Chain A
Amino acid sequence: MLHIAPGDPVVTVVGPTAPKQAYEAAREKLGLDKPIYYQYFKWLSRAAVGDFGRSVALRKSVNSVIAERLPITLQFTSLGILLMYLIGVPVGILSAVKRYSLVDYTLMGVVFIAVSMPSFWLGLILLLIFGVHLGWVPVSGYGTFGLTILPALALAARGAALSARVTRSSMLEVINQDYIRTARAKGLVERVVHYKHALRNALIPVVTLFGMRLGWAVAAGVSLEIVFNRPGVGRLLINSIFARDYSVVQATILVLSVSIMLGNLLADVIYTVVDPRIRYD
């Protein structure tokens, strides 16, 4: 499928001014002289055993390129996803416990703005403040703490805001249930009621939405790697699309899709832990 795209990977290898013989030789070496269905099935049969071929632009095997880049991506995305919940859930709880107060309205106002903010723009603003103005972090690169926390924060903001909203509304819903009234009636302290009885039930919808958040985080991660110049899988994908480096494009899209699928599977498992009423059998 990728071969309908305009552009020619052979030119990437030999350069636009190469003589015709060199071009033909390179084309044959890359297997691009064979019919497309043949190329595709060859790719598929190799991919099935974990061999994604070679990158024409980087002149390395795709496996080694992805192995090199994947940790750089995982490092900040996993921190970002963690922050999403570490920030979002407490904010939602606080808002629900102090419902219809100034605290609640302020938090929900901030949340509303955070939901509407594109993460790559937030990344640029953070870079502008901490990189250009304060000079605390270099403007591009990776590895240092600052350059991991900034993209992680930019990634986390929208998800945290959405989690806060869901946590708040489901807490409010749960607080009106009969079993909460029972818990209060038997003389439990308000804190125990909130955290032991209400929160556990209120977290169920938060977990349900994990799968959607993850897919979104993967996409936002790609744009943040461009903003922060991080040489991760996302930037690899974008550069490979520009370079018509098909084998890398196919492999990175596959890796990202599989990680989203695995994340959803994980969400289903966590779901049964949080809510023992749910069983998959």
Chain B
Amino acid sequence: MIRKFLRHKMAIIGAIIIGLLVITAIFSPFIAPYPPEEQDLMNRFEPPNFKHPLGTDSYGRDIFSRLVYGTRISLYIGVVAVFVSAAIGITLGIIAGYFGGWIDSLIQGGVDITWAFPAVLAGLTLSALFGSSLTNVMIAVALVYWGRYSRITRGDVLSIREREFVKAAKAAGAGDPRIILKHILPNAIPPAIVVATLMFGDAIAVEATLSFLGMGAQPPTPSWGAMLSYGRDYIRIAPWLSIFPGAAIMIVILGFNLIGDGLRDAIDPKLKY
């Protein structure tokens, strides 16, 4: 499986991109030439140059440094949102697939509701309710994306449940909790990992969109989406304020998509998600 993944050249490129971004996030203070919120009013709206590789904004803040710190926010949102939705989705998917019956119908009903509902709209509703914050962004992603995991896991569990080793365990007198934890869960995890990598990119895109709309990270937090929203106001005089944060968002999403595709080919080529 790992060898299959390594043969996938695009996936390697994706892994390198994400690896570099993780390093950037961890070592931000060493990589960024300036503190992200340091203002330099003498050097406002500088186009990219040697001192400021990606230019400066209306307060003279260094765009490159802000982008470097922004990786932390994007990756943090991605990690939390993906893990929370995976935990909820996999649990409910196993319950639905293993027990069936009314509880299955109930969970599937929930999945159907989340399936076509956009996380951004959920995020907007939450901001209208509780005000704007990054926590709301994560809750919105989890509220909508658990269904993706749940659907995949349920399908897997339905087939795993009928396999010999599960029947053997049952015949040997194992109870439901033991069968689920020891036999079902380990087999249901790999396909969910593929969904998780693809969801990472989506979660980061949702954060960027909501922050762009002013409903996520609030200024002066260097969130890429928030930087874009601010750049929109100066698109005539300082286009670099909008170009670079968007490029950063695209690169992260591209990285996760490349890895996700490679993993999908390695783990389960039939998986469509």
Of B116, B129, B272, which one neighbours A5 at CB under 8 angstroms? Answer: B129
How many residues of B sit at the interface, in one of the four size bands? 35 or more
Task: Indicate whether A144 reaches chain B with its CB closer than 8 angstroms.
Answer: no
Task: Indicate whether A81 reaches chain B with its CB closer than 8 angstroms.
Answer: no
* B239 with A112: CB separation less than 8 A: no
Task: Indicate whether B165 reaches chain A with its CB closer than 8 angstroms.
Answer: no
CB distance from A246 to the nearest CB of B (A): 8
Task: Indicate whether B214 reaches chain A with its CB closer than 8 angstroms.
Answer: yes
The 0/1 profile, CB within 8 Å of A marked 1, for residues 254-265 of chain B is 100110000000
Task: Indicate whether B221 reaches chain A with its CB closer than 8 angstroms.
Answer: no
A/B pair count, beta carbons within 8 Å:
119
* B228 with A2: CB separation less than 8 A: no
The 0/1 profile, CB within 8 Å of A marked 1, for residues 120-132 of chain B is 1100110111110
Query: Given the known A-B contacts A4-B130, A219-B118, are A116 and B254 also in contact in the complex, defined by CB atoms under 8 Å?
Result: yes
State the majority secondary structure of interface residues on B. helix
Task: Indicate whether A1 reaches chain B with its CB closer than 8 angstroms.
Answer: yes
Query: Given the known A-B contacts A128-B235, A215-B118, A219-B119, are A116 and B253 also in contact in the complex, defined by CB atoms under 8 Å?
Result: yes
Interface residues of B in 106-162 (CB under 8 A from A): 115-121, 124-125, 127-131
Task: Indicate whether A237 reaches chain B with its CB closer than 8 angstroms.
Answer: yes
Task: Indicate whether A192 reaches chain B with its CB closer than 8 angstroms.
Answer: no
CB distance from A98 to the nearest CB of B (A): 19
* B213 with A226: CB separation less than 8 A: yes
Binds A, one of B56-64, B181-189, B204-212: B204-212
Chain B residues near A116 (CB-CB < 8 A): 201, 250-251, 253-254, 257
Task: Indicate whether A77 reaches chain B with its CB closer than 8 angstroms.
Answer: no
CB distance from A108 to the nearest CB of B (A): 10
Q: How far is B213's CA from A244's CA once the two chains are assembled, in angstroms?
A: 15
* B115 with A260: CB separation less than 8 A: no
Q: How far is B248's CA from A152's CA once the two chains are assembled, in angstroms?
A: 23
Which residue of B is nearest A166, CB measured?
B272
State the majority secondary structure of interface residues on A. helix
Interface residues of A in 1-32 (CB under 8 A from B): 1-2, 4-7
Of B116, B128, B235, which one neighbours A124 at CB under 8 angstroms? Answer: B235
Which residue of B is nearest A131, CB measured?
B235
Chain A residues near B243 (CB-CB < 8 A): 125, 128
* B124 with A241: CB separation less than 8 A: yes
Which residue of A is nearest B228, CB measured?
A121
Chain B residues near A117 (CB-CB < 8 A): 246, 250, 253
* B129 with A124: CB separation less than 8 A: no
* B235 with A1: CB separation less than 8 A: no
* B246 with A118: CB separation less than 8 A: yes
Of B131, B213, B236, which one neighbours A132 at CB under 8 angstroms? Answer: B236
Q: How far is B127's CA from A7's CA once the two chains are assembled, in angstroms?
A: 12
Of A132, A205, A215, A253, which one neighbours B239 at CB under 8 angstroms? Answer: A132
* A241 with B236: CB separation less than 8 A: no
The 0/1 profile, CB within 8 Å of B marked 1, for residues 97-130 of chain A is 0000000000000001101111011001101100
CB distance from A131 to the nearest CB of B (A): 8
* A241 with B215: CB separation less than 8 A: yes
The 0/1 profile, CB within 8 Å of B marked 1, for residues 208-247 of chain A is 0001101110111011001100000000011001100010
Some 5 contacts from A to B, beta carbons below 8 A apart, are A121-B250, A124-B231, A212-B115, A218-B121, A226-B232
Interface set of A (CB-CB < 8 Å, partner B): 1-2, 4-7, 112-113, 115-118, 120-121, 124-125, 127-128, 132, 139, 205, 211-212, 214-216, 218-220, 222-223, 226-227, 237-238, 241-242, 246, 249, 253, 256-257, 260-261, 263-264
